[in-house]
Amino acid sequence: MGLSRLIPKLLFPETGELDLIAATGILSGFESIVVAVIGIGQLVMAILFLLPITKRWLFLLSAIAVTLLGIGALISSPHLYALPFNPGALNIVTIGISIAAWVNSHQLVLARHCRRKEKK
């Protein structure tokens, strides 16, 4: 998620993103707004990952978001799941990485928890 998805969703939504949303039949007439909201949401998550904050909750949020987007693609365009590099395979890998990062995130070393004292 993030900057690689910003370009198609916000700058060129007519490249297939609108068709995927329209195929769901949900929020008919608001497809461009939905695509823009999804793109902005992905951009916000990418920026949050770059900030020096605890990211444990972001890993879970990322896994949930990818799951929901994958379900949306499955409902709207199930034929995409028969293609190479389909949303299912990519989402499973992304969800797996997010869960692995979440499980291991409590073991990460943080500079703000440093026990060393500055020498004078």
Structural domain contains residue 120: no
Given the structure tokens 């929020």, which residue do they identify? 27
Torsion over CA: 41, 43, 108, 117 (sign): negative
Domain annotation covers residue 105: yes
Contacts of 5 (CB under 8 A, 6+ apart): 39, 42
The per-residue pLDDT for 31 is 82
Residue 118 lies in a domain: no
Q: Are 95 and 66 in contact (CB under 8 A)?
A: yes
> Per-residue confidence of the chain (120 residues) as pLDDT tens digits?
455 555 566 777 666 777 777 877 777 888 888 888 888 888 888 899 888 888 888 999 999 989 988 888 888 888 888 888 888 898 999 999 999 988 888 777 766 666 777 776
Number of structural domains the chain divides into: 1
The domain in which residue 20 lies consists of 3-113
In a domain, 53, yes or no: yes
